[in-house]
């Protein structure tokens, strides 16, 4: 493609003034040595990004070899392994995703997004961004550098939410706590609204410094991590909340143990809270520690088996101790820390899961599932007797078809369910993402670290169709989210039509490649039955955005 064709036309300049890329999409710059028309993108394969999803489809179609998908974000070397060769894929002429050189730097292309919600907040898996009622705008930009096994990405994000008022669900609190979670205002830091005025933040975003050498990866990051194969409803960690500052250590690539290939990562970080809790003093900060391990059995490289666990613990005045470092490797039962079967308020809060992902080679089909727990079992007998205590189940599949034109059409679905089981009537606890001791719940700065469907007892399902062509992408989706349950159902199985807060969403999104710019426009209608346990309400959500290369700034490699 010639440079003349890359010039931004008047209509595109007008779109730049309107501003912005869909909140869920992130892109990349042009690459050195590539054709002038390539927009780049290698340095922007972030958790939940547009290009991460694209590479996942290409892997299921056989464009890249088997590689575990349940430990993300990916390093530059891992992106090398996942990148297709030979111009495969409908976006091969758009993005430079070829394996990188030993030394290079890239521009993380500037991106601007705007979202408008007519009646109430709506949006998820947007990282640091929280989209309230009214207008929310965000800007992203950055740089990335790589020298052999050392890589650095600086990709901050700033956002401003108009945060217009809407009817809050009463929670029995006043003052700033009136904005807190309606069901668990003292047990989870998940505000219904972030105050009564505009809400803005500058966040370090998807920034990471790491070293990959001799099969070992280590680094420090504020980027989102993903543990497990889910893309919409991750049980433990995903892109819904801001990334938290953390250090990590693990394998740089799967290690061949003959019986299986093992890939693992352990991380330690600091979690913060919003201003809409009554938690003060030392408990305002928590230590996050996690471990994830995947195995690819010998002879079945497309089958991925794994397990993960994540702890919320006390942040000690002098910083983490050696006991804190060992925490992700300790026993899985409460009896190891002196608790009783009915004690949900132990010193730590553990979330754990087991999962699998199975890709049928070159078929475009993958199936995956995750079983999660938000509580220790007292002992092995307790686990066998009541495995559904504080449990969640996630499942999903993707099926992609390659068209003769080179386009990809795909159907995907994903669901999670952690509604309370009947054993809740005689055994306390069991509420997902809520804890007695760590009253912020499973959150970072007021947003859920896991699936953004609700807390305590909730469920969600999304079905979507993606169509990827040389000119961009069309996506249509439907989602049903059970946000919360009330009434006496957990105790005597009775229910009324007002005991469930359920949101149904229909959405359509268009990604259009126009010169050096990626323009995204999306429209979603959200019909929420019994919103705030009151009345039905409809919200129209509109997003528009742009991400573009800087014409005078080109990446370099040698």
Examine the pLDDT at 19 and tell me if it is beyond 80: no
Examine the pLDDT at 345 and tell me if it is beyond 70: no
Domain count, the chain: 1
The 10s digit of each residue's pLDDT in 71-122 is: 999 999 999 999 887 678 999 989 888 776 677 888 899 999 999 999 999 9
More confident residue, 445 or 30: 445
Asked if residues 545 and 25 have their Cβ atoms less than 8 Å apart, the reply is yes
The 10s digit of each residue's pLDDT in 413-440 is: 999 998 866 555 555 556 899 987 889 9
The string of DSSP letters for 259-272 reads SEEEEEEEEEEEE-
Alpha helical stretches, state H, 7-134: 10-18, 50-60, 76-82
Which residues neighbour 99 within 8 Å (Cβ) at sequence distance 6 or greater? 80, 83, 85
How many Cβ atoms sit within 10 Å of the Cβ of residue 525?
14
Examine the pLDDT at 1 and tell me if it is beyond 60: no
242 three-state secondary structure: coil
β-strand 459-469 against 472-485: which pairing, if any?
A: antiparallel
**Domain of residue 522, CATH code:** 2.40.160.130
Strand partners, 411: 399, 465
Residue 448 vs residues 237, 241, 255, 516: alpha-carbon distances, Å: 9, 6, 32, 35
pLDDT of residue 436: 78
- Between CA 18 and CA 325 the distance in angstroms is 48
Residue 230 vs residues 236, 355, 397, 423: alpha-carbon distances, Å: 10, 10, 10, 27
The average pLDDT across 510-538 equals: 94
Strand partners, 473: 468, 511
Least confident of 176-185, 287-296, 372-381, 512-521: 372-381
Examine the pLDDT at 297 and tell me if it is beyond 60: yes
pLDDT above 70: percentage of residues in the chain: 83
Least confident of 199-203, 279-283, 367-371, 544-548: 279-283
Examine the pLDDT at 385 and tell me if it is beyond 90: no
pLDDT of residue 422: 54
The average pLDDT across 353-360 equals: 96
Gyration radius of the chain's alpha carbons: 23
Q: How many alpha carbons fall within 13 Å on the CB side of residue 153?
A: 31
pLDDT of residue 349: 87
Alpha helical stretches, state H, 151-292: none
User: What is the band of 271 on the pLDDT scale with cuts at 50, 70, 90?
Assistant: very high
- Between CA 191 and CA 185 the distance in angstroms is 8
Quote the Cα angle for 130-132-133, to 5°. Answer: 165
User: What is the band of 494 on the pLDDT scale with cuts at 50, 70, 90?
Assistant: low
Least confident of 9-13, 224-228, 478-482, 547-551: 9-13
What secondary structure letter does DSSP report for 334?
A: G
Asked if residues 22 and 47 have their Cβ atoms less than 8 Å apart, the reply is no
Strand partners, 456: 432
Strand partners, 201: 159
The 10s digit of each residue's pLDDT in 479-490 is: 999 998 875 455
pLDDT of residue 88: 84
Query: Nearest Cα to 68, choosing from 276, 358, 500?
Result: 358
Residue 405 vs residues 64, 465, 476, 542: alpha-carbon distances, Å: 20, 18, 21, 31
pLDDT of residue 222: 98
User: What is the band of 352 on the pLDDT scale with cuts at 50, 70, 90?
Assistant: very high
Asked if residues 396 and 230 have their Cβ atoms less than 8 Å apart, the reply is yes
pLDDT of residue 404: 92
Residue 399 vs residues 333, 362, 470: alpha-carbon distances, Å: 38, 11, 20
Asked if residues 290 and 237 have their Cβ atoms less than 8 Å apart, the reply is yes
- Between CA 247 and CA 267 the distance in angstroms is 6
Asked if residues 40 and 28 have their Cβ atoms less than 8 Å apart, the reply is yes
- Between CA 228 and CA 291 the distance in angstroms is 11
Dihedral sign, CA of 527, 532, 535, 539? negative
pLDDT of residue 11: 37
The average pLDDT across 36-47 equals: 77
The 10s digit of each residue's pLDDT in 307-322 is: 999 999 999 888 888 8
Strand partners, 311: 289, 350
pLDDT of residue 269: 97
Which residues neighbour 290 within 8 Å (Cβ) at sequence distance 6 or greater? 225, 227, 236, 237, 266, 267, 308, 309, 310, 311, 328
Q: Can you give the residue range of the structural domain that contains 33?
A: 4-342+351-557
């Amino acid at each position: 493609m010639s440079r003349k064709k890359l010039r931004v036309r008047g209509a595109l300049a007008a779109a730049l003034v309107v501003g912005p890329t869909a909140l869920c999409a992130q892109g990349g710059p042009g690459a050195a040595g590539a054709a002038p028309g390539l927009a780049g993108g290698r340095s922007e394969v972030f958790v939940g990004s547009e290009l991460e999803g694209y590479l996942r489809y290409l892997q299921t179609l056989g464009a890249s070899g088997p590689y575990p998908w349940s430990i993300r974000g990916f390093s530059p070397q891992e992106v090398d392994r996942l990148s297709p060769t030979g111009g495969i894929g409908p976006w091969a002429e758009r993005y430079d995703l070829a394996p990188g050189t030993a030394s290079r730097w890239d521009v993380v292309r500037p991106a601007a997004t705007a979202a408008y919600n007519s009646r109430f907040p709506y949006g998820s898996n947007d990282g640091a961004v929280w989209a309230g009622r009214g207008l929310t705008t965000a800007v992203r930009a950055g740089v990335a550098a790589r020298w052999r096994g050392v890589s650095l990405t600086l990709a901050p994000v700033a956002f401003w939410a108009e945060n217009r008022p809407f009817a809050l669900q009463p929670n029995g609190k006043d003052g700033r706590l009136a904005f807190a979670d309606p069901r668990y205002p003292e047990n989870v830091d998940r505000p219904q609204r972030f105050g009564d005025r505009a809400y803005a933040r500058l966040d370090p975003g998807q920034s990471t410094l790491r070293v990959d050498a001799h099969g070992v990866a280590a680094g420090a990051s504020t980027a989102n991590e993903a543990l497990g194969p889910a893309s919409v409803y991750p049980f433990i960690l995903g892109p819904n909340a801001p990334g938290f500052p953390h250090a990590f250590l693990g394998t740089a690539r799967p290690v061949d143990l003959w019986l299986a290939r093992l890939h693992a990562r352990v991380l330690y970080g600091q979690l913060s809270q919003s201003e809409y809790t009554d938690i003060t003093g030392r408990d305002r900060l928590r230590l996050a520690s996690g471990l994830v391990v995947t195995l690819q059995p010998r002879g079945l490289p497309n089958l991925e088996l794994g397990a993960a666990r994540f702890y919320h613990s006390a942040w000690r005045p002098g910083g983490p101790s050696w006991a804190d470092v060992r925490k992700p490797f300790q026993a899985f039962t409460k009896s190891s820390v002196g608790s009783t079967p009915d004690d949900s308020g132990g010193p730590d809060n553990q979330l754990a899961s087991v999962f699998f992902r199975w890709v049928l080679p070159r078929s475009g089909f993958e199936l995956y599932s995750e079983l999660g727990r938000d509580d220790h079992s007292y002992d092995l007998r307790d686990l066998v007797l009541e495995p559904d205590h504080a449990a969640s189940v996630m499942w999903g599949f993707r099926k992609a078809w390659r068209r003769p034109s080179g386009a990809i059409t795909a159907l995907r679905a994903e669901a999670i369910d952690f509604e309370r089981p009947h054993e809740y009537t005689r055994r306390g606890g069991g509420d997902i993402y809520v804890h007695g001791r760590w009253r912020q719940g499973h959150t970072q700065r007021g947003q859920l670290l896991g699936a953004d469907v609700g807390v305590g007892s909730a469920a969600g399902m999304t079905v979507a169709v993606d169509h990827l062509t040389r000119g961009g992408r069309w996506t249509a989706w439907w989602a049903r989210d059970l946000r919360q349950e009330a009434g006496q159902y957990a105790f005597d199985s009775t229910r009324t039509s007002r005991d469930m807060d359920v949101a149904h969403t229909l959405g359509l999104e268009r990604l259009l490649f126009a010169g050096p710019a990626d323009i995204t426009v999306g429209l979603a209608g959200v019909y929420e039955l019994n919103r705030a346990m009151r009345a039905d309400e409809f919200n129209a959500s509109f997003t528009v955005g742009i991400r573009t290369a800087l014409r005078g700034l080109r990446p370099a490699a040698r």
